[in-house]
Amino acid sequence: DTAVSQTPKYLVTQMGNDKSIKCEQNLGHDTMYWYKQDSKKFLKIMFSYNNKELIINETVPNRFSPKSPDKAHLNLHINSLELGDSAVYFCASSSGASGPYEQYFGPGTRLTVT
């Protein structure tokens, strides 16, 4: 029983292509996130949705578009991929309108743009 799952695990594509990454959580959480981990392992928030509503949108190129069809799913679509988009993308989820916002992470999607 995977709590937070992502597909695909690996994604290799060429510059200029459009790709999507999917995330699903079965924890009953109401908030989901996308984080980007660069080659130096640094982790940074990209987006967050609470009950299907966008609540965090950091400084991310508008080629990145998140979409949350329901509370259990958060997808990330990337247009016109660039070399600099190569990274590991992690989905996470948390529960509650208040509290510590403890988050549970998916296994990551390693995106390589050639």
Partner 1 sequence: GDSVTQMEGPVTLSEEAFLTINCTYTATGYPSLFWYVQYPGEGLQLLLKATKADDKGSNKGFEATYRKETTSFHLEKGSVQVSDSAVYFCALTNQGTGRRALTFGSGTRLQVQP
Q: Which positions lie near partner 1, rule CB under 8 A?
A: 31, 33, 35, 40-45, 48, 50, 55-56, 90, 92, 94, 98-108
Phi-psi region of 99 (alpha: psi -120 to 50; beta: other; left: phi over 0): left
Nearer to partner 1, 26 or 80 (CB): 26
Q: Which CB, 15 or 43, lies closer to partner 1? A: 43
Measured from the CB atom, is 31 or 68 closer to partner 1?
31
User: Residue 40: which residues within 8 A CB-CB, separation 6 or more?
Assistant: none
Q: What SS3 state is found at 84?
A: helix
Closest distance of CB 111 from partner 1, Å: 15
Residue 14 CB, shortest distance to partner 1, in Å, is 24
Sheet strands side by side (includes 73-78): 4-7, 19-25, 73-78, 64-70
In angstroms, what is the minimal distance from the CB of 30 to partner 1? Answer: 10
